[in-house]
Amino acid sequence: MMPGRNNISLIASLAIMILMVVCDIANAQTSNHGVMTIAEGTTVSTLFPLENKVEGSIVNDGDLYVYSHFKNDGEVTFTKGGNAGMTRFIGLSGIQEITGSQIAELNDVVFDNGHDQYAFHLGGVLSVAGNGDFRRGIVQGDGYGGLIIFENGATHSNVSDDSHVDGVIQKSGNEDFICPIGDKGYFRFDGMSYSPAGDLYTAETKYFFEDPDAHYPRANKESKIQEIDDSEYWVLNWVSGGGEDIDVTLSWRDVTTPAFILGEEKRNIHIVKWDEEEGQWIDLGGVVDIENYTVTAKARLNASGVYTFALIQSGITDLRVTKTSFEKVVWEGDDLEYEIIVQNNSDVNATDVVLVDNLPPGTRFKEMTVESAFGLLEYELEVNGQTLMWSIPEFIAGDEMVIKLTITTEKEGTILNAVNVNSAEEDANPEDNEDEDINKVNKFFLPNVITPNGDLDNDTFIINGLNKFKENRITIFNRLGDHVYEAEDYQNDWAAKGLVDGTYFYVLEVIMQNGQKEEFKGWIQVISEPLE
């Protein structure tokens, strides 16, 4: 009977094993000095320690069982672009040492060794492109110098206190990832959330089940931080790529995270980061997910980042902002004044208050004044294009900030101006933390009739939107062509004083903001009425 295709593949694979692998029976070791290819659908196993020599190459597209130690000083890889290749570290007699000077590139990998809590001593580097299956046994890299790299798209499963990575994990990619790390027998993951459209990042992370105080004093902290976790911290370092803020997620557990941090409601738990330059812990904020026992905050990874939990002052603020232009009629080139009022309607001082006003297109910031009810308000204003940002270190409870903001309009159209305010604290009524004002800039307009009768209504020749021009000159003359009025930088003040009623003509010469000259011609009807 002819052998089937699977049997042929197995025979070919075993032939390669016979040619390329030398078994040192005396030292009970399997050494590879050549090229060993494990074809897809083929199973290969060794009861002896497997050593891939400097000149050796192992291409695993099948199923490789390693029952003892593993050392790689050569090439270990799989066929890229495929889904095949499984490496199983399964202990039969005790601890398995995973060492070597070269990276072992694995597709899928299984860790399954129940002989010891720390069943795997990782002194080499493993790269996982597929799934890392943690069934039994902790992979101990800490103290042995090893590293596991999860490549872009890699996953993991079955992580628990009984099986995870105790040491450094490196993650490359741009997708969300939960790191299967822990320390001293506790699985204590952290996570990184990237933008799928962003650049590829490489970052490293490690968990420490110990007080950070010896290296990062907990007493050195921002004033709003009440207490810092004294039992654990995570190191999350940038290696390469990226440069954008990412979401960092830390997990809590009542067996490792102190009760004074967790409290009853858990809503005041934040993530804090050690700032090397300032030499203190700084608050990053945090979104608490009670169901999944996590807190997530924005952070920018750098070469050295230390993170843990902290309890932030429990007070809740109530900031409110309003904005109005009082429905003032505005013409092109006119100034428009807004009134912005910010109030702290709570009994708690708000800290790190940020007020952001986004000016609409076609307007420019001109000037402003600020007053506060208590007269103690300190702030800094940053103008960045159309965005105005006031930074207020502390907004006292009950205080009110009134901003008179003047802008210059440049073109006609509807203008919507939005403003919002936030602080480091939770807000009792976030719905009133933003407001908007809608107004309209009217088009440049020259009237045809004035009624200089002294009633203060239409008494002068008012050119609406004249401020839009850099320079102007006006000449008014009668039907005979005699000049009756001339002015440069016209101030909308011609009232036909001393002239008879009738029709007059004007020539308005202007220079635009870009230096271009333009001329407007037209007529004006002067109608005087007796005062009553």
Cα–chain center distance at 174 = 13
The answer to whether the CB of 471 falls within 8 A of the CB of 464 is no
Domain made up of 449-526: CATH architecture: Sandwich (2.60)
Complete DSSP assignment for 238-263 = EEEE--S-EEEEEE--TTTS-HHHHT
Res 197: pLDDT = 56
Cα–chain center distance at 151 = 22
The answer to whether the CB of 226 falls within 8 A of the CB of 311 is yes
Tokens of 54: 């400097």
The answer to whether the CB of 41 falls within 8 A of the CB of 6 is yes
Res 242: pLDDT = 64
Fold of 188-314: Chondroitinase Ac; Chain A, domain 3 (2.60.220)
Res 514: pLDDT = 77
Helix (H, G, I), strand (E, B) or coil at 135: strand
pTM higher than 0.85? no
Return the bridge partners of 356, or none.
Answer: 389, 420
**Do 188-314 and 449-526 come out as alike in CATH topology?**
no
What residues does each domain of the chain span? 1-166, 188-314, 319-442, 449-526
What sections of 252-382 are H helices per DSSP? 259-262
Residues of the chain with pLDDT under 70: 1-27, 195-198, 242-244, 264-265, 303, 314, 530-532
Residue 192: which of 237, 246, 240, 238 has the closest Cα?
246
Res 8: pLDDT = 34
Res 255: pLDDT = 96
Pick the CATH number of 319-442 from 1.10.20.60, 2.60.40.740, 3.40.50.300, 3.20.20.70: 2.60.40.740
